[in-house]
Amino acid sequence: MQLSNNIIKPILSEKSLGKTSAENRYIFQITMKTSKGQVSEDIKKIFGVECVSVWTSVVPGKRRRITGTRKFMKTPRWKKAIISIKAGQSINLMPKE
């Protein structure tokens, strides 16, 4: 579910959904080369909401064991963006069908 060239997908976890309800913040996985300004523009284009602020961070890869062997592999690192939107606005991440 790639939303745009810069935004890959929303992060839907218990922690991120708690931030959504409490602080009006949403978390998205983005490409490594995406800047904060590009994220803000894409969110406005896709969802039609105003971004108040954008925080980005690079999440390091983790070691994972390959089943049935003694070998390990490393998952790739990825970048996430935490987006704060104006009060009274919301993003529907799970649309009803």
pLDDT for the residue 95: 67
**Is residue 94 assigned to a domain?**
no
- How far apart, in Å, do the first and last CA atoms of the chain sit? 16
List the domain range (segments joined by +) for residue 21: 7-63+71-85
**Is residue 22 assigned to a domain?**
yes
- pTM score, two decimals? 0.85
pLDDT in tens, 24-67: 999 999 999 999 999 999 999 999 999 999 999 999 999 999 99
Give the pLDDT band of residue 21 (cuts 50, 70, 90). confident
Question: Tell me, what CATH number does 39's domain have?
Answer: 3.30.70.330
**Is residue 25 assigned to a domain?**
yes
Looking at the 3D structure of the chain, how many domains does it have? 1
- What whole-number percentage of the chain has pLDDT above 90? 67
Average pLDDT over residues 74-84: 95
d(CA 59, CA 44): 24
**Is residue 38 assigned to a domain?**
yes
Which secondary structure element, helix H or strand E, spans residue 46, and what is its range? helix 36-47
Which pair of tokens denotes residue 26? 């949403």
**Is residue 81 assigned to a domain?**
yes
